[in-house]
Amino acid sequence: MDVIGQQLANASSLENAPAIKEHQPGSGIATEENRKQKKTISQEIMLSVRDLEVSFKTFGGEVQAIRGVSFDLYKGETLAVVGESGCGKSVTANTIMGLIPQPPGRIRNGEVLFKNRDLTKLNKKALREIQGVDISMIFQDPMTALNPTLKIGEQLMEGLRTHHKVSRGEAKRKAVEMLNLVGISNPEERLKQYPHQFSGGMRQRIVIAIALICEPELLIADEPTTALDVTIQAQILELFDEIQRKTGVGIILITHDLGVVAKIADRIAVMYAGKIIEIGNKREIFYDPQHPYTQGLLNSVPRLDLQEEELKPIEGTPPDLFAPPEGCPFAARCPFAMEVCERVYPATTQLTTQHTVDCWLQDPRAQSVIN
């Protein structure tokens, strides 16, 4: 968490709290960050999610977990999806990955375009040829993501051997190479060990190695550092960064931890109640958040550079997704809510080429709100 604080403190040009209604296009594209990151993000879209709607049947009715999510992912970039628990982050990830059990899950609408194919329409067999090969996933808890009864080597190699039909020797060579890449020493020996012989951080490295062994173009990381110690978190995040620069893999990072986001994301999508309410590059979201929810989210993170004693939590709770509100789902908790907010969902406003927000405050008829 304190990473943000440091980052904010470091960015000399922007010492103040996020201000509303003060667009600063181009400002603060700070220099230090860009110099450090030599990543090449091309303008080519590799994954395009369009109007995705996913719901789950439960005894109590149908939960509308995702209610129209659209975003693009460019080649070689890291897109962070942030939001509080239950906002649909993980469902989005699992839908892209084709891991939504149907039933009870149902993809009601929308498409996930990858390599000119709609992943939501593929049959299971065709999907399996993409899972693990073109798109890989990293799970939250490395303590449970590895099969306790199989050796690390087998778990590493099986994806490769299933999809690429390589020989055992070839697979082993590749497995050793992957363990080297993720920073596990003595890989030849380690291949013969079982998961319980590794620490949590080591296991997460192995999970990453497994995800990367078939050289995927897209990596979906579902809260990859949540279950780890803070010191290990930093190591794993650096590993992500390093791997991305080496392999050019696109990363969708699901997290609720803004510190993680500040460290490795290029762009940030903020989700609330099954919708992306604001999306923009890191700088725009951190220093120029336009949606009251995004502002609230940032305010509820402890900061080192401000002398305030108390955190400002967002009051209230997210809406019930069994019967989502017609208007803006945040209206009930929003300090600036207007009458219209509760009736009609706001249109998307394009602020800069990358920054868009769904909020009625952007409407010219709205009163300007200044903190």
Partner 1 sequence: MPLYILKRFIMMIITVLIIATLTFVLMRAIPGSPFDEERTSNPTIQANLEKFYKLDQPMPIQYLNYLKSIVTFDYGPSIKKPNESVNTLLARGFPISFELGMATIIVAVISGIILGTFAALRHNGIIDYMAMTFAVVGISIPNFVLATLLIQQVAVNWHLLPPATWSSPKHMILPVIALATGPTAIIARLTRASMLEVLTQDYIKMARAKGLSPFRIVARHALRNALMPVVTIMGTMLAGILTGTFVIEKIFAIPGMGKYFVESINNRDYPVIMGSTVFYSAFLVFMLFLVDIVYGFLDPRIKLHKKEGEV
Contacting positions for partner 1 (CB under 8 A): 97, 99, 127-133, 136-137, 139-141, 144-150, 158-159, 162-163, 194, 196, 207, 210-211
Report the residue number, 131 or 356, with the smaller CB distance to partner 1: 131
Q: How far is CA 259 from CA 35, 182, 279, 294, in A?
A: 20, 22, 17, 14
Q: Closest approach of Cβ 368 to partner 1, in Å?
A: 47
Strands (E) in the chain, as ranges, are: 45-58, 61-74, 78-82, 105-114, 117-118, 135-138, 218-222, 250-255, 267-272, 275-281, 348-350, 356-358
Report the residue number, 197 or 371, with the smaller CB distance to partner 1: 197
- Give alpha helix (H) positions in 146-229: 152-164, 168-181, 187-190, 200-212
Q: How far is CA 118 from CA 109, 199, 254, 270, in A?
A: 12, 39, 22, 24
Q: Closest approach of Cβ 9 to partner 1, in Å?
A: 37
- Whether 55 and 63 have beta carbons less than 8 Å apart is answered as yes
What are the φ and ψ backbone dihedral angles of 29, each rounded to 5 degrees?
A: -75, 80
Report the residue number, 7 or 140, with the smaller CB distance to partner 1: 140
Q: Closest approach of Cβ 150 to partner 1, in Å?
A: 7
Q: Closest approach of Cβ 195 to partner 1, in Å?
A: 9
Torsion, Cα 21 69 281 235, to 10 degrees, reads 130
Would residue 198 be called left, alpha or beta, if left means φ above 0 and alpha means ψ between -120 and 50 degrees? beta
Residue 111 contacts by C-beta under 8 Å, 6 or more apart in sequence?
A: 49, 50, 51, 52, 118, 119, 120, 121
Q: Closest approach of Cβ 75 to partner 1, in Å?
A: 21
Q: Closest approach of Cβ 147 to partner 1, in Å?
A: 4
Q: Closest approach of Cβ 227 to partner 1, in Å?
A: 11
Report the residue number, 139 or 272, with the smaller CB distance to partner 1: 139
Report the residue number, 195 or 292, with the smaller CB distance to partner 1: 195
Report the residue number, 97 or 276, with the smaller CB distance to partner 1: 97
Report the residue number, 29 or 127, with the smaller CB distance to partner 1: 127
